[in-house]
Amino acid sequence: NAGVTQTPKFRVLKTGQSMTLLCAQDMNHEYMYWYRQDPGMGLRLIHYSVGEGTTAKGEVPDGYNVSRLKKQNFLLGLESAAPSQTSVYFCASTRTGGYTEAFFGQGTRLTVV
């Protein structure tokens, strides 16, 4: 049972390049989340999904897009990366929203140069 798996773990991008971060969970959870973590800023919610085919904006959605085509996967896309998007990205999932605990992945460290 892998839980929440993020791919890749590390990545360096040049300004203007695009990339997709993959979050996969094998717990049949309905809700999935993407966060970014910067020094002194804690965990900030980018986008989330309450079920397959649905997405919603979080606190800091600008510059990111997401898709949830399959229940087990939640993709985070950067169409044109900027240095301000240098951060550690975490994915999480929960079975039924606030009723149950969230499980987090181990993070993706992204550097945009």
Positions in the binding site for another protein (CB under 8 A): 4, 31, 33, 40-43, 45, 48, 50, 54, 56, 58-59, 90, 92, 94, 96-99, 101-107
CA–CA gap between residue 86 and residue 103 (Å, rounded): 23
Neighbours of 47 (CB within 10 A): 23
Q: Write down the least CB distance from residue 94 to another protein, Å.
A: 8
Q: Write down the least CB distance from residue 75 to another protein, Å.
A: 18
Q: Write down the least CB distance from residue 92 to another protein, Å.
A: 7
